[in-house]
Structure 1
Amino acid sequence: MTTTPDPLLRIAAGQVRGLWRGEPGGSGGPGRSGGSAAFLGIPFAEAPVGALRFAAPVPVTPWDGIRDARAYGATAKREKPGEKTLIPEPAVPGEATLNVNVFTPAPGGDAALPVLVYIHGGGFTEGSPASPWYDGAAFTRDGVVTVTISYRLGFDGFGHIPGAPSNRGVRDWLAALAWVQENIAAFGGDPGRVTIAGQSAGGGAVLTLLGMPAAQGLFHAAWALSPALGDVSGERARTLTAKLANLLGVEPSREGFASVPEADVFAQQETLGRNGKSPLDVARSMLRDGLSFGPMIDGDLLPQPTIEALGSGVGGDVPLVLGATDDEFTMITAGAARVLDIVPPAVALQQLDVPREKRHTWLADNAAQRRKGTAAVIGRYVSDVIFRSTVLRAADARAEAGGAGRTWTYRFSWPSPTIGWACHCLDVPFWFDALGTEAVDAIAGDAPSQALADEVHGAAVALIRDGDPGWPAWDPATQPTRIFDVPADGRSPVVHDGYASVRALA
């Protein structure tokens, strides 16, 4: 019996050795057929430590010999004892956190396959590219080279620091995409057919990059799942910097923050977003303040808010698919139904500072949700403000700009049998066609629909491969929206005005 040697490639910085999963061109790999190669933890920039901690990413120094790329590299995410998240996202210790993972069915050849670059979520403070959900097995099975990227998180990646470059995490995205342009052909990918995708904060990253002049030309299509935008104002960023410096007992400067261990910064940054303990307090804080850390409107790399940038035509030639789950946040408020449901929905929205006319219009448009109780109403409202209205606003903005790139919208409406809602993160294993992966049963039950995964994943492959996910593009007059669910006739429908219930907030 012969053993296939691990694949060896030469890229710009040196040689890398990956590993085969299954036999090349044969069966037995993690996909339904065929094998694929994985190259893990390849650095695209120097480790952001020491003098480089708050610097823009610096290209990695070329190495001699062969670099082992058979295990995930260090992650910016750090271990938290007892932490449990909807998506299993492991923390890998180490300093060289700026790295990429590449999954390919055709390493070393000239296949020129389409490329997916995936940006993980986590509110710009958490998340890991090493999640088994993000393994590219199903995409490689379908002829797509898949790349997952890491980036600096929280204050180190996005905090305002006098004397340091702004938006360091965003600059990491740009550096990773530049690495893809320079190196992906060695893995069998086509640098002229790169699609970026991400979920939650990763979806927000996709829209941020789409509307960023400096990112144009680094990708050619985009898919944003449940996009949560940062768009942190300079004023808010400076305020958070002052508060964090006070908590740490240092001067609010690059030197001051550099004197504090990373672990201390991570510990204290979490306290900045904690405002109140009741469900309404938490919801009010999220609606009023937004994310504490994320891409900042700095007048340089990000000259204007994302929706404004899209409305001005930036990224208008790039095909875009975007959508959200129906109840991103409702699983949080549902746990407090006993307390919330005794409050009339209109009163609860008033306590969230929703103006009278807007709350009455929105409640009228969401009568079905209102019948489920106040907890469901508040959960849907927060979902609409943070996620679902972004879909509508982005689609409208691109339509008004009139660019050549088409826009498609969808809703993921299938409710989790374990959680009870079409909740945040539920769509991710369907999108990756990874239903048999670790911890999927906790969010999608013991028998999630493979037919639904085929539809969602198939649409993703169609965009990446052909530039069209397979349903009518956005038209302001009819606003067609694909509804991903498990219907009786076996196919998810396309409806007109699929985000009508969000219109009052757009």
Structure 2
Amino acid sequence: MTDHPAEQPVVRTAHGPVRGERRESGVRFLGIPYAQPPVGELRFAAPVPPEPWAGVLDATAYGPTAQRRPLAEVTFIPEPSIPGDGTLNVNVFTPDPSPDAGLPVMAWIHGGGFLAGSQASPWYDGAAFNRDGVVVVSIGYRLGFDGFGWISDAPHNRAVRDWLLALEWVRDNIRRFGGDPDRVTIAGQSAGGAAVLTLLGMPRAQHLFQRVHCLSGPVSQVSTAGAERVGRKLAELGGVEPTRSGLSRLSEEQILDLQKQVSSLSADTDTDTDTDTDTGTGADPEDALAGLASLISKSLPFAPMVDGDLIPQAPLDALAAGVGADKELVLGATDHEFTMALHPMRDRLATAAPAGILIGCGVDEAVATAYVTDHPDLDTADLVGQYVTDHVFRTAVARVARARGAAPTWLYRFAWRSPVLGLATHCLDVPFHFDCLDAEGVTAVAGAEPPKTLATDVHGAAVAFIRDGRPGWTPHTCGAPVTRVFDTRSSDTGDGYADVSALLTAPAPTSDDARLK
């Protein structure tokens, strides 16, 4: 290490040395492989640790990303697509790359509906966490069909296996970067939030982390039968057998085109879904409503699969059975995640009956009627969008908290309304979590002067939780629910999710109703 200038420190990992770049906040090491490139024979295989290298690996630029095409969904995070085969890589941001530093660690899993997203986003830079004594690791993983698609002779849940191998890399290497492998918090937003909830409910992941921080993360899974149906359809459309050899005949571009075609298919009639899927919020109301209906009906073809092996049971069932009960959990959502999804066609929907639209999207008639009555001040576009927000995101918070019972759980709401958007929308909380208000793209969604005090509150709570296991407010329990509300002036309230969860629960059918059905 003495042979390298101070601004380019070298750390020796289990597979070989890597050269980083020193900054004011610490040192960053970018694009470190935790697995061999998933190409050729490894394309649809479980991830394999990298071959050792002898020379010093230059880790001063972001590595390839699995994202090849960003989605046109309701998200504002700048997430670059970087070409290359070695997409299974991590970025490490550390205040002090010394083996004896013993600093807490946040391992970040990005969102993107399991179809897109990039570990190279400037919003995921760990500088502010480094400033506050936390090591950050951002993880790249396989997306879409390559990561989650059913193939008859391939291992299921390949992307989930990517997460596990990346966390094993953290366990085996992070001490060399100044981190403590016994103080790891897994965190993620949207699909990344769904990912960390999946890991929280997986027995085989429990030894790899101590805490979980979930931002806007719905409970997300598909059944094996649902995944198989979509996988077979994709292969059929591609004119190949649903096997590794058959699907390997299709190029990456062909797979991307085909997975877009099958994304309109319901993977499972009882599938919980993440929200970064393309909602079709363009100029065509029919496309937009079809996209929202897919969210309401919980149809996401590519997501973690309950395979009975790696994922033995659905996350909520696992949490209710006590899996992960020894882990501290912080989770919450923004108040208006997808409320603005139909804004481009607000005028065209102005005369439409909102209850009729909800019913047409598969919502129980009694629930739709009650929801419209409970939201008299919203026009049709906002009401339908708010229903998606409540149904997909906010009820998930209540369900997870309820399943966890007395396990240590803290709830929050991000309620600050952007002066640009007028709402607390999906992804708006991320730059406050990372305290990166000066990063690319933030002012476009948060205004020219986003409140620094709010970033101090949100980021400070994350740091306190990662460091000490306590974010700074009273934990949620079934007997005394408390929710932190992050706003211009943050405060605590009662259970901020129970009412919406109750409102969206269909009443039990009466005997007459049962006969009619």
TM-score normalised to structure 2 length: 0.90
Identity of aligned residues (%): 53
Q: Quick one: which amino acid aligns to residue 496 of structure 1? A: G
| Bigger mean CA offset, 320-329 vs 232-241 | 232-241
Matched, 1:353 2:359: no
Matched, 1:392 2:382: no
CA distance in 1, matches of 2:249, 2:357: 45
CA contact (8 A) 1:198 1:205 kept: yes
Matched, 1:94 2:79: no
CA positional deviation for 1:340: 2.4
CA contact (8 A) 2:294 2:300 kept: no
CA positional deviation for 1:361: 3.8
Equivalence for 1:43 = 33
Deviations, residues 119-171 of structure 1 (Å, cap 9, x unaligned): 00000010000000000000000000000001000000000101000000000
Matched, 1:179 2:178: no
Name the SS for the 1:223 alignment partner: strand
Equivalence for 1:501 = 500
Deviations, residues 248-293 of structure 1 (Å, cap 9, x unaligned): 1111111111111112101221122248852322211222243220
Name the SS for the 2:170 alignment partner: helix
Q: Quick one: which amino acid aligns to residue 411 of structure 2? A: T
Equivalence for 1:341 = 350
CA positional deviation for 1:348: 2.4
Matches within 5 A, 1:290-439: 290-364=299-373, 366-367=374-375, 370-399=376-405, 402-403=406-407, 406-439=408-441
The structure-2 alpha-carbon separation of the partners of 1:265 and 1:415, relative to structure 1 and needing over 3 Å to count, comes to: same
CA distance in 1, matches of 2:74, 2:304: 26
Q: Quick one: which amino acid aligns to residue 385 of structure 2? A: G
The structure-2 alpha-carbon separation of the partners of 1:382 and 1:80, relative to structure 1 and needing over 3 Å to count, comes to: closer
Equivalence for 2:6 = 4
CA distance in 2, matches of 1:81, 1:382: 19
Q: Quick one: which amino acid aligns to residue 303 of structure 2? A: G
Equivalence for 2:513 = none
Equivalence for 2:274 = none
CA distance in 2, matches of 1:158, 1:358: 33
Q: Quick one: which amino acid aligns to residue 281 of structure 1? A: A
Name the SS for the 2:65 alignment partner: coil
CA distance in 1, matches of 2:73, 2:213: 29
CA distance in 2, matches of 1:302, 1:505: 28
CA distance in 1, matches of 2:38, 2:44: 7
CA positional deviation for 1:483: 0.7
Name the SS for the 1:216 alignment partner: helix
CA contact (8 A) 2:75 2:427 kept: no
Aligned mate of 2:148, from 155, 158, 168: 158
Matched, 1:193 2:199: no
Matches within 5 A, 1:269-308: 269-274=259-264, 278=286, 279-308=288-317
CA contact (8 A) 1:201 1:229 kept: no
Equivalence for 2:270 = none
Q: Show structure 2 runs of 5+ residues with no match.
A: 266-279, 506-517
CA distance in 2, matches of 1:170, 1:81: 21
CA distance in 1, matches of 2:445, 2:356: 32
CA positional deviation for 1:226: 0.3
Deviations, residues 31-73 of structure 1 (Å, cap 9, x unaligned): xxxx310011111011111001111011111111211111111
Equivalence for 1:32 = none
CA contact (8 A) 1:416 1:444 kept: yes
TM-score normalised to structure 1 length: 0.92
Q: Quick one: which amino acid aligns to residue 351 of structure 1? A: G
Q: Quick one: which amino acid aligns to residue 413 of structure 2? A: R
Equivalence for 1:141 = 131
| Bigger mean CA offset, 295-304 vs 112-121 | 295-304
Q: Show structure 1 runs of 5+ residues with no match.
A: 22-28, 30-34
The structure-2 alpha-carbon separation of the partners of 1:232 and 1:82, relative to structure 1 and needing over 3 Å to count, comes to: closer
| Bigger mean CA offset, 457-466 vs 335-344 | 335-344
Matched, 1:255 2:245: yes
